[in-house]
Amino acid sequence: MPDLNKSVVKLSKRAYYLMGRRRYNEAEKVFQEAYALNAENAYILVGLGDLYRKLKNFPKAIKYYDMVLDIDPVNVFALRGLGNAYRGMKKPEKSLEYWDRYLQCNRYDTHVMVRMADSYKKLGKYQEATALYDKAIQIGGNDKYAYLGMGTLRYKLGDDDAALACFEKYQVFDEDNVAVLTMLGNIFQRRKEFDKASAYFRKTIELDPDNVFALYGLGNCERGLRHFEEAIALWRRVLEFEPENQNLNTRVGDAYLSLEKLDDSQAFYEKSLALGFDPYAYLGLSNICLKRNEFDKAAHCCKQIIEKLPDNARAIKQLSRIDALRREGGEGVTGAEVRV
């Protein structure tokens, strides 16, 4: 028996060594050899659970973790492993069940607290998520994942001030997280602080040149600064990835209209309408027709809107304007009247 125990210990140490170096196939063979010698050794069973979890074979990992709990119901390694395995299977309710049991044994593990908070956030249980993020920050001091999770939650809930405070603390650890940079850009864009927003979007694009969220946001900032050519160039890059983005086709049409490039503007409004009904594209086309003194066509565009949206105030106002211009025999709309 002593020789058998020595063999099991030697094999398990070797298996863990191989797993730590990501030599998973070799580690599996050694773990299974040790398991054949002692099928009730918790150290080996946890190792097998960890190995199959790393290989994303979550059902098999769960099988071995469950075997550990049959022997030792409060084994923290198996409880944590089960939470992580169910997380990999996108079953946050099951993850929470095992992580909660784990924290009853190991109350100060902020890493698991943050993972629990992330799961609560996915389930829409924001109060529970907030409480755990707060606790992780209080216990862990500067836990970057807690700041990231809390910041993302506050951003999702529209609490921009709280989100900013968390992201600023998170960025002490990581200045190059493109998701955080994009959210910061969006916050400052919403505040119409376009220069600040642009800086975050530009840094995102430096790190990820094809990031459509940053390209789109930077385009919005350039439009806000009335740099329409720059906005168009950025938005057209997004359209290379998302040619059927109706809202963006209309925005490009608006920007070309602001530049008095009527043919280009019309082309993008028509692309938008080819994708479906869009009152803003019809309004844009109506403005183009007014600029060309094509009153009947301008009115027809408004009527297309009213047919679908009888109470659309902008279309009704535009029709009144068209009638007034027709009676006066006036010129079309000026650039200042174009929606941007």
Look at residue 253 in the predicted model and tell me its pLDDT. Answer: 98
Query: Can you tell me the distance from the alpha carbon of 1 to that of 3, in angstroms, rounded to the nearest whole number?
Result: 5
Confidence of residue 335 (pLDDT cuts 50, 70, 90): very low
pLDDT in tens, 212-265: 999 999 999 999 999 999 999 999 999 999 999 999 999 999 999 999 999 999
Task: Output phi, psi for 259, to 5 deg.
Answer: -90, 5
| Residue 254 to residue 252: CA distance in whole angstroms | 5
Q: At what angle do helices 76-88 and 42-54 cross, to 10 degrees?
A: 20
Q: Is the pLDDT of residue 284 over 60?
A: yes
Residues near 141 by Cβ (< 8 Å), separated by ≥ 6? none
Q: What is the band of 337 on the pLDDT scale with cuts at 50, 70, 90?
A: very low
Q: How far apart are CA 35 and CA 12, in angstroms?
A: 9
> Looking at residues 13-18, what average pLDDT do you find?
94
Which residues have CB under 8 Å from 121's CB, separation 6+? 129, 149, 152, 153, 156
Tally: H helices and E strands in the chain = 19, 0
**Is residue 340's pLDDT more than 50?**
no
Percent of residues, the chain, with pLDDT higher than 70: 95
Dump pLDDT digits (tens) for 22-61: 999 999 999 999 999 999 999 999 999 999 999 999 999 9
Domains and CATH numbers, the chain: 1-107 (1.25.40.10), 112-174 (1.25.40.10)
Per DSSP, the residues of 220-264 read HHHHHTT-HHHHHHHHHHHHHH-TT-HHHHHHHHHHHHHTT-HHH
Q: How confident is the prediction for the chain on average, in pLDDT?
A: 93
Q: pLDDT class for 200, splitting at 50, 70, 90?
A: very high
* Span 160-166, average pLDDT: 96
Query: pLDDT (tens digit, 9 = 90+) per residue, 48-57?
Result: 999 999 999 9
Question: Which tens digit of pLDDT belongs to each residue from 94-110?
Answer: 999 999 999 999 999 99
Question: Which of helix, strand or coil describes residue 59?
Answer: helix
